[in-house]
Amino acid sequence: MLITLEKRPTPSRGWAIATPVLAVILTMIAGGVMFALLGKNPVEAIRTIFWDPLFNPDVASYSRPQLLVKAAPLILIATGLSLGFRAGIWNIGAEGQYIMGAICGAAAGLALYPLEARWIVFPLMILAGALGGLLWAMIPAILRTRFRTNEILVSLLLVYVAQALMASMALGALRNPEGGGFPGSRNLSQWPAAANGELVANTGLHWGVIAAILAVIAAEFLLRRHILGFDIRLTGLAPRAARFAGVNPDRLILLCMGISGALAGLAGLFEVAGPAGQISIDFASGYGFTAIIVAFLGRLSPVGILLAGLLMALTYIGGELAQFMLSLPSAAIQAFQGMLLFFLLAVDVLSNYRIRLATKGAA
Amino acid sequence: MTPLIEIDGLSKSYPGVRANEDVRFSIAPGEVHALLGENGAGKSTLVKMIYGLVRPDAGTMRLRGEPYAPPRPSVARERGVAMVFQHFSLFDALDVAENVALGMENPPPMRALAKRIREVSEEYGLPLDPARLVGDLSAGERQRVEIVRCLLQDPKLLIMDEPTSVLTPQEVEILFRTLRQLSAEGTAILYISHKLEEIRALCDGATILRRGRVVGSCAPREKTARELAEMMVGQTLTPPARAERARGPIALEAAMLDLDSPNPFGVGLRGVSFQVRQGEILGVAGVAGNGQDELLLALSGEIRSPTDAVRIDGHGVGHLGPVARRRLGLVAAPEERLGHAAAPDMSLTENALLSGGPRRGLVARGLIDWAKTRIFAREIVEQYDVRTPGIEVAARSLSGGNLQKFVIGRELSQDPSVVVVNQPTWGVDAAAAAAIRQALLDRAAAGAAVVVISQDLDELLEVADLFAALNGGRMTKPRPTQGLTVDEIGLMMGGAHGMEEAHAHHA
């Protein structure tokens, strides 16, 4: 007997929905085995990661709001990235755009310090944050359209430039003049005109969450109803057919890079003005890279990304909890998260292929 | 005399399809035997079984009286069976001798091989220089590489799959002389083609396949092409009706159109000029790879040119993209259906939107009207007889002929004033091909200017009012089709590549 893969004439919708669920289940099984090999009770470990952050009365009051705080930037960035990914435009440098959004947004706000008019300061920061991310993404975009450079490399390398810039800002131009020489800017979350605080107490709901939900709705609408969304999908599925249809590939590159950069910049601004509070050397926390995983976990569909972002945030919070409560090594948690992506990509084959058992010889 | 090969009761099924069922026939030594049938009749599966690429489910073969069941092509080659495929398996960046060596089990040293290639090619009248790069060869010369590769093995049975689809009439003559010589030396030839006149000229016997079964055999010389076609299709064929058409003003014009090919081994266009009036069909002949794809891209707007190099109704449109040209009335259907004219993984509805948006008002202020798009898709499916379970299936699940009907239907349903199509009936069965040609004629009768780019001369002679040929990116001056002789057409197409020095001008 031979196992063969047979391409489905039309991709299966049922499997497209079922595969992420299957991937999570397989991750739980494989992760459970790994935890067991590490000498931990697998059931307890899985429960600590997936159940306790939400429902364990001892920790949920802290960890439940964290879910939205962690999920919002992931969803916001991943939604933007998914548009480009669908069109075959690989912005790998969302982390850099996220950092630049934070720097520009914070700088725009700090320039007005200590103005108390929130209706001027906060919107201006949002605008500057989005613009910072957008312009940073335009560098790989324009280099690609003008000189045919590879946007994967350029956007990725610009992450390290942005990180260096972030450190220099924390130590130099944006350093808190009243901070006693310590690196780091003024704390924006303690300045009412600029703070991106909780809108409803103990929920974790802040403006970034609202922006993420709006982005998901807008992206879903774009992909379903707008010709631009159609052009994006067409370019990804059949680039030559897209040129035949009249899609201008360069315009699409600028647009997708611009949208993903602006959303990443927004995520950075909401982070720096809220949960992080200030520009600091260790501001960058990898949201921009994790968002790539979230985008694929969500099947590059906005609603899928919403769910995937929440799931990913849960594994982060639950992972921290497991480290702390069960003293699991952090490498094991990272391996667990890696398994999730691995299984997700592995089972994806089922939506386009059907597995057949064939007798040998009937080639 | 024992037959060279005897095929007895061969059957082969794939999931859902019986490709061959109880096929039996035999070929005598030195016989040129035609295998006739529409697309999907099972010809390919049958020859793949003979060549050892596919194992039959049932049935036996005997080669020179001995049991023959090749498990793989190398065994078939050892037993003296060789095959020239329709699509060449050659590497552009290697020279002729290297390509030949790659197809051999134990290639001799290069020098000896080059000498053998020269000998064989001279012996059989197939001029070929072993040192030339394959990327620089014409389609006809590439085919010679494949044939010489087979002849070096001294085959007893040579299988040729649609060998003339890429050749000019003169090149076809050269090929036929070679095949007749081989036949006289005792090599049997199994010849697959749908060009009936050729089969009548060349073949001694014919086996006709329909839906995987043998439905008849005959001596092709004793039948008319029409009778052969009807045996193949199993129904009476009606030739397309050509109504008298009124000619209007010039609708499409190209003036000294120059452009480079986007493809490294492609051929750019050099000074292409022509005019097509409303109600007129211009047929553009030529062997593939002489600028046909580039001509379509330049007319459809995928490649831009100076404003006045392409004019629609007198307006310069060279700088405009495909969407703007569609608004002005030009529709186009590229040769490659899957991936160029249609997105394989998208539904028929989405593929209807792909080019139908601007002229059918499917998009208003950027918003897609899916209800209207579905109506459009359904209209195409119904009016052009596209066999599909529904409009939400992926384009790649349709057969080639049905997808082509969908693509042509999509373009012609947009009430165009200019139509440009490349290879409209390539790989399409006879009935669908006839429907597509009729649709093009009807569109011209309705007042559209039509450009048909095709390698199928019969097709062009059937539909075109004006005839031109593309050769090395240059186009001949269009001439009225009526009264053209085959020799004139051959000369327009550039004669026989490699037979004369004349084609050395493509620098």
B174 and B255 in a single domain? The answer is no
Question: Of the candidates B301, B324, B339, which has its C-beta nearest A238's C-beta?
Answer: B339
H-state helical runs in A111-150: 118-147
B16 and B113 in a single domain? The answer is yes
Handedness of CA A140, A141, A146, A150 (dihedral sign): positive
Helix (H) or strand (E) holding B394: none
Which chain A positions have a beta carbon within 8 Å of B322's beta carbon? 243-246
Q: How much is the mean pLDDT over chain A?
A: 90
CB spacing of B367 vs A240 below 8 angstroms: no
Q: Give the span between the Cα atoms of A244 and B422, in whole angstroms.
A: 13
CB spacing of B340 vs A248 below 8 angstroms: no
Q: Is residue B202 assigned to a domain?
A: yes
Is B301 part of the contact surface with chain A (CB cutoff 8 Å)? Answer: yes
Alpha carbon B483 to chain centroid distance? Answer: 25
B223 and B264 in a single domain? The answer is no
Tokens at A162, concatenated:
């942005």
Which chain A positions have a beta carbon within 8 Å of B370's beta carbon? 225
CB spacing of B355 vs A9 below 8 angstroms: no
**With a cut of 70, which residues of chain B have pLDDT below it?**
1, 15-17, 39-40, 235-244, 264-265, 494-507
Is B431 part of the contact surface with chain A (CB cutoff 8 Å)? Answer: no
The SS3 of residue A11 is: coil
Query: In sequence order, what are the residues at sequence separation of 6 or more whose Cβ sits closer than 8 angstroms to the Cβ of residue B357?
Result: A227, A245, B323, B363, B368
Tokens at A39, concatenated:
């000498």
B175 and B127 in a single domain? The answer is yes
Q: What is the pLDDT of residue B353?
A: 96
Which chain B positions have a beta carbon within 8 Å of A227's beta carbon? 357, 363, 366-368
Q: What is the pLDDT of residue A149?
A: 94
B208 and B102 in a single domain? The answer is yes
CB-based contact B280:B247 (threshold 8 Å) = yes
Tokens at A271, concatenated:
């982070």
Which of B165, B173, B381, B382 shows the shortest CA–CA distance to B288?
B165
Tokens at A311, concatenated:
């799931």
B199 and B325 in a single domain? The answer is no
Shortest CA distance from B342: residue in chain A: A241
CATH code of B9's domain? 3.40.50.300
∠ CA B311-B315-B319, nearest 5°, is 70
Which chain A positions have a beta carbon within 8 Å of B396's beta carbon? 9
Question: Of the candidates B54, B355, B366, which has its C-beta nearest A245's C-beta?
Answer: B355
Q: How far is CA B20 from CA B45, B182, B213, in A?
A: 7, 29, 6
CB spacing of A241 vs B357 below 8 angstroms: no
Interface of B with A in 1-60 (CB under 8 A): 54-55
Which chain A positions have a beta carbon within 8 Å of B346's beta carbon? 233-234, 237-238
CB spacing of B321 vs A248 below 8 angstroms: yes
SS (H, E, C) A212-249: HHHHHHHHHHHHHHEHHHHHHHHHHHCHHHHHHHCCCH
Burial category of B407 from C-beta neighbours within 10 Å (exposed 0-12, middle 13-18, buried 19 and up): buried
Find where tokens 């498990």 sit: B71
pLDDT-derived band of residue A1, with 50, 70 and 90 as boundaries?
low
| Model pLDDT for residues B99-141, shown as the tens digit of each residue | 888 877 778 888 899 998 999 888 888 888 888 888 778 777 8
Q: Give the span between the Cα atoms of B395 and B393, in whole angstroms.
A: 6
CB spacing of B302 vs A225 below 8 angstroms: no
Q: Is residue B460 assigned to a domain?
A: yes
Q: Is residue B184 assigned to a domain?
A: yes
A361 has pLDDT over 50 = no
Is A359 part of the contact surface with chain B (CB cutoff 8 Å)? Answer: no
Tokens at A137, concatenated:
């993404």
Q: Give the span between the Cα atoms of B44 and B40, in whole angstroms.
A: 8
CB-based contact B111:B187 (threshold 8 Å) = no
Q: Is residue B317 assigned to a domain?
A: yes
CB spacing of B345 vs A11 below 8 angstroms: yes
Dihedrals φ, ψ of B62, to 5°?
-130, 130
Which of B194, B241, B223, B170 shows the shortest CA–CA distance to B462?
B241
SS (H, E, C) B441-487: HHHHHCCCEEEEECCCHHHHHHHCCEEEEEECCEECCCEECCCCCHH
B135 and B259 in a single domain? The answer is no
Q: Give the span between the Cα atoms of B304 and B269, in whole angstroms.
A: 12
CB spacing of B336 vs A240 below 8 angstroms: yes
Q: Give the span between the Cα atoms of B55 and B59, in whole angstroms.
A: 10
Q: To probe the interface with A, which of B53, B320, B330, B345 has the most A CB atoms within 10 Å?
A: B345
Which chain B positions have a beta carbon within 8 Å of A361's beta carbon? 55
Q: What is the pLDDT of residue B225?
A: 77
Q: Is residue B399 assigned to a domain?
A: no
DSSP for residue B432: H
For residue B363, give how far its alpha carbon lies from the nearest alpha carbon of chain A (Å). Answer: 7
H-state helical runs in B259-369: 292-300, 322-327, 348-360
B177 and B254 in a single domain? The answer is no
CB spacing of A226 vs B393 below 8 angstroms: no
A138 has pLDDT over 80 = yes
Question: Of the candidates B345, B354, B367, which has its C-beta nearest A245's C-beta?
Answer: B354
DSSP 3-state helix, strand, coil percentages of chain A (rounded to 5)?
70, 5, 25
Shortest CA distance from B354: residue in chain A: A245
Q: How far is CA B109 from CA A93, A290, B99, B106, B121, in A?
A: 53, 56, 13, 9, 18
Which of B467, B359, B361, B342 shows the shortest CA–CA distance to B407?
B342
Calculate what percentage of chain B has a pLDDT beyond 70.
94
Which of B189, B204, B233 is the last residue before a domain boundary?
Answer: B233
Q: Is residue B441 assigned to a domain?
A: yes
Which of B233, B265, B293 is the last residue before a domain boundary?
Answer: B233
Shortest CA distance from A226: residue in chain B: B367
Calculate what percentage of chain A has a pLDDT beyond 90.
63
Count of CB contacts below 8 A, A vs B?
A: 79
Which chain B positions have a beta carbon within 8 Å of A230's beta carbon? 350, 353, 368
Q: To probe the interface with B, which of A10, A244, A359 has the most B CB atoms within 10 Å?
A: A244
Interface of A with B in 196-255 (CB under 8 A): 225-228, 230, 233-234, 237-238, 240-246, 248
CB spacing of A230 vs B353 below 8 angstroms: yes
Mean pLDDT calculated for residue range A94-118: 94
Q: Give the span between the Cα atoms of B208 and A337, in whole angstroms.
A: 61
Which chain A positions have a beta carbon within 8 Å of B324's beta carbon? 246
CB-based contact B288:B455 (threshold 8 Å) = yes
Question: Of the candidates B55, B302, B350, which has its C-beta nearest A243's C-beta?
Answer: B302
CB spacing of A363 vs B393 below 8 angstroms: no
Q: How many domains does chain B have?
A: 2
Handedness of CA B87, B92, B97, B103 (dihedral sign): negative
Q: Is residue B477 assigned to a domain?
A: yes
Q: What is the pLDDT of residue B237?
A: 56
B211 and B262 in a single domain? The answer is no
B332 and B190 in a single domain? The answer is no
Find where tokens 């500057």 sit: A128
B254 and B225 in a single domain? The answer is no
For residue A235, give how far its alpha carbon lies from the nearest alpha carbon of chain B (Å). Answer: 9
Q: Give the span between the Cα atoms of B335 and B314, in whole angstroms.
A: 27
B149 and B261 in a single domain? The answer is no
Q: Is residue B20 assigned to a domain?
A: yes
Question: Of the candidates A9, A10, A244, which has its C-beta nearest B302's C-beta?
Answer: A244
Domains identified in chain A and CATH numbers: 41-327 (1.10.3470)
| Model pLDDT for residues A292-334, shown as the tens digit of each residue | 989 988 889 999 999 999 988 998 899 989 988 888 888 998 8
Q: Give the span between the Cα atoms of A334 and B388, in whole angstroms.
A: 48
Residue numbers of the domain that contains B200 = 5-233
Adjacent-strand bridge partners of B316: B311
CB spacing of B368 vs A362 below 8 angstroms: no
Q: What is the pLDDT of residue B170?
A: 79
Shortest CA distance from A241: residue in chain B: B340
A110 has pLDDT over 90 = yes
Question: Of the candidates A238, A243, A361, which has its C-beta nearest B344's C-beta?
Answer: A238
Longest dimension (CA), chain A: 79
For residue A29, give how far its alpha carbon lies from the nearest alpha carbon of chain B (Å). Answer: 33
Q: How many CB atoms lie within 10 A of CB A287?
A: 23
For residue A232, give how far its alpha carbon lies from the nearest alpha carbon of chain B (Å). Answer: 12
A158 has pLDDT over 80 = yes
For residue B332, give how far its alpha carbon lies from the nearest alpha carbon of chain A (Å). Answer: 9
Which chain A positions have a beta carbon within 8 Å of B339's beta carbon? 238, 240-241
Find where tokens 């459809």 sit: B300
Interface pTM, i.e. ipTM: 0.85
CB spacing of B341 vs A227 below 8 angstroms: no
Which of B173, B207, B233 is the last residue before a domain boundary?
Answer: B233
Adjacent-strand bridge partners of B10: B23
